[in-house]
A and B are shown apart, each in its own frame.
Chain A
Amino acid sequence: MEKILALLQEKMGRLGADYADLRFVEMERSRTRTKNGAFEELKDSASRGVGFRVLKGGGFGFSATADLSEKSLFRHLEQACRMAKSFSKIRHAEVKLSSAKSAKVRWVLPVKKDPWKLSLEEKIAPFLEAQRKIKMDPEIDSACGVLDLIRKRVVFVSSEGSWIDQLLYRTGGWIYGETWAKGEKIRRSWPGPSGVFRAGGYEAVDQMKFPDEAERIREELKELRQSPEAPSGTFDLVLKGSVLALQIHETFGHASESDRVYGYEDNYGGRTFLNPGLLNGYPVASSKVTLVSDAQPPSSPPPAGRGEDKGGGWGAGTFAYDDEGVPAKRIEVLREGVFSAYLTSRETAYFLNQPESSANMVAQDGFHYPIIRMTNLNLLPGQGNLDELIAGVQEGYLLDNELSWSIDQMRLDFQIGGEAGYHIQNGKIKGLVRFPFYHGNTLDFWRSCDRVAGKEEWDFWGFSDCGKGGPYQEAFTGHGLSPARFRNVEFGRE
C-alpha cells in the first residue's frame, strides 16, 4: 500500500492543483453488549478507505473509495481534481489555506494494555461481575454493559511533502441498571449513559472500576424507586462527570467551531452566537471558567493545567496530527471567561486572519470529508474538592449523568435532564430525586459559575458519537474537567 501511496503523492504534485492530500484510513471497531451477567451481542466492523482532497481554482474537490486497487485510487485522485475544477466555478468563497509545516512522522498512541491482544472472555469479565452485583437486588429489571473498542490507522499524505502515519486507540464502556417504579423506567449508569471514551487501551476500562461502582448503582436504584420527582424552581446546581462534559460540549464546544460562523453548518448543525467581533473582549462566562482545546498526546509530566494523569488514558480527542496534517496544539477558547479563540481548519484560520489552524480537522473515516471538530475541550481546574462545592450550597442539586438534552441552533437556549439528582440541603446530600432537569441560556448559565474544583478531582470524560456534517459523521471528543458549581439555575417547567 505504501508504494501506491508514494506514487499518488508524486501524482499530486503533477496535477496542476494548488494543494492535494489523501488519507488512507484503516479502522476496526468491536462493540460487545452483555446483559444480566451474560454475553448478549457482539458487533464487529472493519473498514479501509482512501479519501482525496484537491484544491484547484479556489475550490476543493473530494473523492473517496473502498476499492484500494492502484487503478481505482488514481481514478479517484483525478475525480477529486475534476470536482475541484468543476465546483470552483460556483464556489461559495475562494479557499486559501493558512500555512502548515510539512512533517514525516510515524506515531502510535501509547497504550498500557492492548485490547486487541485480550480474549473476549478477559475483556468482558469486569462487566459481567458488575452486572451480577447489580442484579443481586431482585427488583432490578436488568443490568447491562457495553464495551466499545476502536483502533484506527490514519496515513496522511500531502502535496506539501507530509507523510504522517498514526495509530490511534479509543476505548470506552459503560454499565447500567434499570428498574421500574410507578410505571416509569428508572436508569442509573456508570460512568455515563453512553459511556466514557479515552484515548488509550484497556487500562481505561480498568480505571472505570465497574465492579466497585455496581454496588452504588444497585443501592441508588433501590432508593430511586421510592424517591420523589425533582421539583421546579430556582436552585444551585453542582455538575460533575458526564453531564458537565455534555454541558461544555453542547454550549461553548459547538459554539466555538468556526465553520458555523461562515454558515457551512447552517443546513444541519446550525450557527453560533460567538461572532468574530466578540473575540478577546467579551466575557461569556465567569472568570472561573477557562476552556482549552488540547489534542496533544500524553507527555510526562503533563503540561500545566491539564490535570494529573490518572492512568486511564487521555481524552478521546487525542492525536499527534489532525486530518489536515497540522500538529496537535493547546489553545485557550475561553480565558477566565473571555472568548479568546475559535476551533479552526487551515481554511477558516485564513478567513480569520490567523497564522495557523488550531488543528481541529477530523473525519470519521477515509470516506468522509474532514470537518472542524472538538478534540479535547477541557475545563481547567480551580481549587478545592467536590465536598467543598457541596458545602457551599444551601438548597440545590448535584447531577452526574444526563438523560436528555437539547439546545437551539445558535447554542444559547438549552435544557438538560439527569438520570437522578442528589438533593443538597445546608451543604449536605440528603437523598435522591428522580427526573431532574434544568434549563437556561448559555451566557447566563456560565456567568453563574462561581467555582470549579481543583486538580485532585480532574479527569477526562467524553463521547464517541458527536454528530455533525453532511454526509453525517460521528467523532470522538474528550472533556477534561473537575466538578463545577452554578448559582440560581432554573429547574423544571412548572
Chain B
Amino acid sequence: MIQNLRRLARPILALAKKKKLPLQVFIRAKKGLLVRFANNGVHQNGFQDLLTYSLRVMTGEGPVYVESGDFSGAGIRSALDVIASGAKQSPGLLRPRQSTLAGPRNDGARRHPRVKEFFPFSLEKTPELAARVVEEGLRLIRREHATANGYFSAYQRFFYLRDPRGTELFHPATAVRFGVTVRKGPAKNYFSFYHPDPKKLHVGRAVGRAMELIGEASEREVTLRPGDYECVFSPRALLELFDPLRRHFDRRLCEDGKSVLSGRLGKKIFSPAFSLQESLQYPGQFGVPFDAEGAARRPVTLVKGGVLKDLLGKGHSTRGFTEHPFNPQNLVVEKGRLSLKNIFEKIRRGVFINKIWYHTLVKESEMEVTGLGAAGCFYIEKGRIVGSVPHLRYHDSLFSILRSVAGATQEQILLKDGEMGSALFPYLWVSRLRLV
C-alpha cells in the first residue's frame, strides 16, 4: 500500500516544487463495509472505496487547505491553483512561520510512537462476516424475546503524510464496530464494540452487555420529578458529555483568554476523583501516531486529581480536519477501583445514562449544558435498577457535574473517537446531576 501512496504523492510534490509551494501532502484511503440492521435483518448496506488527498502550505499565517479525490494531472493542477490563489490573498502565507507551533523537523519518523493498529482481514469476505455477525446477534436477541437494531462495520484505513522537508509518515489501521440497541418491554439499552482487531469481536458478549441492565427494568417505567440525582454515565455517555470542553484544552486559546480554562492552569477545576490524559501510549489505546501537521503525538496529563495540569499544543494539531485547530484525539479518563455493580450498590436514588442525545451548550462560561438520555436510561433506588426511564432531560453545568465525581469503574471501554483516534473511558459515578 505504501508504494501506491508514494506513487500518488510523487506528481503532487513534483508540481508543487516547480511552483515553489512548500506543500504538505496527506493522503487518506478507506475501504470497507457498513451494514445496518433492524429486528428481522439487514435494511441497508454499503461498501466504500475512498481515496482523498489534502494539501496544506507548511509555512505562513493564512492556512489554505485543499482536499481532493482527483489524482489526474488536471485535478492536481487545479488543487495547486487554489493554494496559489490563497497565497495571493495572504502574502504572509509563503513566509516562514514564526509560531512555536510549527511543523516537525525531518526526524519525525524516529520520534513518533509505534502503534500497531492494523490487523489485516479480507475485504472480499466482509459481506459474509457482516451477515454472520448480524444473524448471530439477532438470534441471541430473539431468544430473549427482545427486539433490536444496530450496525456492523469493518474498515481498512491508510494514512500517508509527506512534506517538503522529507518527512514521510505512514500509518495503516483497521477497525471493526458492532453496535446494538435492544428493546424489551419499555426498556432499551445500547452497547457498541470497537477494536482494530476483528478477532476481538465476540457477538454474544456484545449482545449480553446490551441486554444485561434490561432485566428488571423491562417490568416498569419510571417518570422522574425534576431535581438532583446521583448518576452513572456509561463510557459512551461520558465521552459525549465531555465534548463541549474539548476545544478549551487548546493552549493558544487559553493564552488568549478565550477558553473557559484560561487562568486555571494549576488550579482545581474538577473533583479529586477525576483524572484525564491525552495519550496514545496508554495501554489499550489506538490511533494515528502523528498529528495533522506530521508532528509526533505525545502523552499529556490534562487533569490530575481534579487539577488542570497541562494543555494541548504541538503534536495535537487537528487543523483542516476538525473545526478547532487543537483537539484531543486520544482521551483517557483514569479508571477507578469499583465494578459497575459496586457503584449501583452505593446509590440511594439515581439514574444510569447509557447514551446521550443532542448534548448542547446553552451558555459557555459555566459550561451550562442540556441534553437527553437515549437508549438505556434506568432509575436506581437503594442499590438496584428498578425501572427504565423513557424520558430524561438534564440541564446543568459541566464544571458542576465533574466537580461531583465520586468514583469510576476499573473497567475502561475503548470507543472510536473521530477519524484518527479513540477514547478509553470508564463508567463514571457523579453525586449529583440536575434533571429537569
Task: Tell me which residues across on chain A come within 8 A of B40, comparing CB atoms.
Answer: 91-93
Q: B79 contacts A471, CB within 8 Å?
A: no
CB distance from A203 to the nearest CB of B (A): 22
CB distance from A139 to the nearest CB of B (A): 15
Mark interface residues in B384-418 (1 if CB within 8 Å of A CB, else 0): 00000001010100000000000000000000000
Choose from A41, A82, A270, A437 the contact partner of B357 (Cβ within 8 Å). A270
Q: Which residue of A lies closest to B44 (CB)?
A: A369
**A87→B361 CA distance, assembly (Å):** 41
Q: Which residue of A lies closest to B49 (CB)?
A: A65
Q: How many residues of A contact B (CB 8 A)?
A: 68
Q: A87 contacts B360, CB within 8 Å?
A: no
Cβ of A483 within 8 Å of any chain B Cβ, yes or no, is no
Mark interface residues in B20-36 (1 if CB within 8 Å of A CB, else 0): 00000000000000111
Q: Which of B67-75, B278-286, B338-346 contacts A (4 or more CB under 8 A)?
A: B67-75
Task: Tell me which residues across on chain A come within 8 A of B360, comparing CB atoms.
Answer: 404-406
Task: Tell me which residues across on chain B come within 8 A of A444, comparing CB atoms.
Answer: none
By size class, the interface of chain B is: 35 or more
Answer whether A64 and B48 are a contact pair too, CB < 8 Å, given A87-B127, A92-B39, A404-B362.
Answer: yes
Choose from A72, A409, A493 the contact partner of B395 (Cβ within 8 Å). A493
Cβ of A2 within 8 Å of any chain B Cβ, yes or no, is no
Choose from A63, A367, A409 the contact partner of B374 (Cβ within 8 Å). A409
CB distance from B367 to the nearest CB of A (A): 12
**A405→B151 CA distance, assembly (Å):** 27
Q: Which residue of B lies closest to A41 (CB)?
A: B63
Answer whether A369 and B371 are a contact pair too, CB < 8 Å, given A45-B66, A47-B68.
Answer: no
**A330→B35 CA distance, assembly (Å):** 32
Cβ of B186 within 8 Å of any chain A Cβ, yes or no, is no
**A435→B45 CA distance, assembly (Å):** 43
Answer whether A267 and B149 are a contact pair too, CB < 8 Å, given A47-B52, A67-B51, A185-B364.
Answer: yes
**A60→B69 CA distance, assembly (Å):** 27
**A308→B409 CA distance, assembly (Å):** 60
Cβ of B218 within 8 Å of any chain A Cβ, yes or no, is no
**A385→B422 CA distance, assembly (Å):** 52
Q: B372 contacts A413, CB within 8 Å?
A: yes
**A493→B393 CA distance, assembly (Å):** 12
Q: Which of B107-115, B128-136, B289-297 contacts A (4 or more CB under 8 A)?
A: B128-136
Task: Tell me which residues across on chain A come within 8 A of B336, comparing CB atoms.
Answer: none
Choose from B85, B149, B370 the contact partner of A266 (Cβ within 8 Å). B149
Tell me the chain B residues, 1-50 only, with Cβ under 8 Å from chain A.
34-50
Q: B67 contacts A91, CB within 8 Å?
A: no
Q: B127 contacts A76, CB within 8 Å?
A: no
Q: B127 contacts A82, CB within 8 Å?
A: yes
Q: Which of B35, B49, B361, B393 has the most chain A CB within a 10 Å cutoff?
A: B49
Answer whether A121 and B82 are a contact pair too, CB < 8 Å, given A90-B134, A270-B357.
Answer: no
Cβ of B313 within 8 Å of any chain A Cβ, yes or no, is no
Q: B89 contacts A120, CB within 8 Å?
A: yes
Choose from B38, B49, B79 the contact partner of A67 (Cβ within 8 Å). B49
Cβ of B65 within 8 Å of any chain A Cβ, yes or no, is yes
**A39→B61 CA distance, assembly (Å):** 10
Q: A407 contacts B358, CB within 8 Å?
A: yes
Cβ of A470 within 8 Å of any chain B Cβ, yes or no, is yes
Choose from A42, A62, A86 the contact partner of B131 (Cβ within 8 Å). A86
Task: Tell me which residues across on chain B come within 8 A of A39, comparing CB atoms.
Answer: 62, 86, 89-90
Answer whether A47 and B64 are a contact pair too, CB < 8 Å, given A93-B43, A470-B151, A471-B34.
Answer: no
Q: A89 contacts B44, CB within 8 Å?
A: no
Cβ of B365 within 8 Å of any chain A Cβ, yes or no, is yes
Mark interface residues in B82-115 (1 if CB within 8 Å of A CB, else 0): 1001101110000000000000000000000000
Answer whether A92 and B41 are a contact pair too, CB < 8 Å, given A44-B66, A435-B362.
Answer: yes
Cβ of B179 within 8 Å of any chain A Cβ, yes or no, is yes
Q: B69 contacts A413, CB within 8 Å?
A: no
Cβ of B78 within 8 Å of any chain A Cβ, yes or no, is yes
Q: B49 contacts A66, CB within 8 Å?
A: yes
Task: Tell me which residues across on chain A come within 8 A of B45, comparing CB atoms.
Answer: 60-62, 83, 87
Known pairs A413-B391, A470-B151. 20 more at Cβ < 8 A?
A46-B69, A47-B70, A62-B45, A64-B47, A76-B47, A87-B42, A87-B45, A91-B40, A92-B39, A93-B43, A184-B365, A263-B39, A263-B149, A404-B361, A404-B362, A406-B358, A406-B393, A408-B372, A413-B372, A470-B34
Q: Which residues of B contact A (CB under 8 A)?
A: 34-52, 62-70, 75, 78-79, 82, 85-86, 88-90, 127-128, 130-131, 134-135, 138, 149-151, 153, 179, 181, 190, 258, 320, 357-365, 370-372, 374, 391, 393, 395, 436
29 sample A-B contacts, Cβ–Cβ < 8 Å, listed by A number? A41-B62, A42-B85, A43-B64, A43-B66, A44-B66, A44-B67, A45-B67, A45-B68, A49-B69, A64-B50, A65-B48, A79-B47, A87-B35, A87-B130, A89-B131, A90-B138, A91-B41, A91-B42, A93-B40, A121-B89, A266-B38, A267-B150, A368-B46, A405-B360, A406-B360, A408-B358, A413-B393, A470-B44, A470-B151
